[in-house]
Amino acid sequence: MAFYYHNQEINMKLILIFLFSITLVYGQSNQDLTVGYGDRYDSLPKLQFDAATVGDYGKALSADNVINRTPTFERKNIVIPTGNGKLKLKKYDSSPGQGDGFMGWEYKGYFQQLKMHILVSNHVAESLGFSELVLLDSVDGSEHTIASIGDGAVEIPIPSPDGRFLAYYYNQVYALNSCFIGVLAIHKGKAPVRINLSEYSSFETDKWAVENIRWIDETTIVIKAYILKKVANENRKQFIYYTTRLNKNISRKVL
């Protein structure tokens, strides 16, 4: 099932993407690469899921490949070292009464395998909050934004064991038991960009949401999903499991 948004919401998202591209006011990077757009995914094959078991999920590789680093702070800025020098990014400030505009960055960790920092940018427009997940290359300083189908950022992507794919998801905020799952392919880039990401395959449903994603092997994903059901006047999760296999047709490995 595809999810549609009012024109006003779409225009607001486009404005925020533009604002995001110009708000690295301290130490601006010269690369801003956005992936995850719905129209690109729509032209690609969809993920096909089959039923799995809790045992399949338990045997899969756990998603513990994010290093929880404590970044350096200088006053109200996050300082992140890259091969092109240090970036100073405005630290996220959630205090009320600030009005519309760019609210700052949150630091979420580091992918050792990909050599990328994980960040979330935050904006407010017409009193509504928006965020985007960004992978910042620690080698060349390029910014890889993963677009979201909703107002909030997608969840932190999970690299495949061989570093050729990223799997991520977004659970709908305003529609229970609805989600989007995206898979990005990782390619060797051309200077000055070390890595390029591209849309590979996706899936949407209004039947369940995602609790977690794991990789069974280099091309097989297992999903721990859930359905929210009302029990005794409260929502409770009923877990179900699915698996899907990618067509392994990418010839070059990055790492």
The pair of structure tokens assigned to 148 is: 């979201």
Residue 142's alpha-carbon distances to 5, 29, 136, 139, 242, in angstroms, are 30, 6, 6, 8, 34
Evaluate whether residue 44 is within a structural domain: yes
Evaluate whether residue 253 is within a structural domain: no
Count structural domains, the chain.
1
Evaluate whether residue 159 is within a structural domain: yes
Evaluate whether residue 70 is within a structural domain: yes
DSSP 63: S
Per-residue pLDDT of the chain (255 residues; tens, 9 = 90+): 443 343 444 444 544 444 444 444 434 445 559 999 999 999 999 999 999 999 999 999 876 688 988 889 999 999 999 998 999 999 998 887 778 899 999 999 999 999 999 999 999 988 888 999 999 999 999 999 999 999 999 999 999 999 999 999 999 998 999 999 999 999 998 889 999 999 999 999 999 999 999 999 999 999 999 999 988 888 899 999 999 999 865 433 444
Evaluate whether residue 250 is within a structural domain: no
* Residue-number span of the structural domain to which 165 is assigned: 7-245
What's the number of CA atoms in the CB half-sphere (13 Å) around residue 28?
9
Evaluate whether residue 31 is within a structural domain: yes
Evaluate whether residue 88 is within a structural domain: yes
Evaluate whether residue 221 is within a structural domain: yes
DSSP 46: B
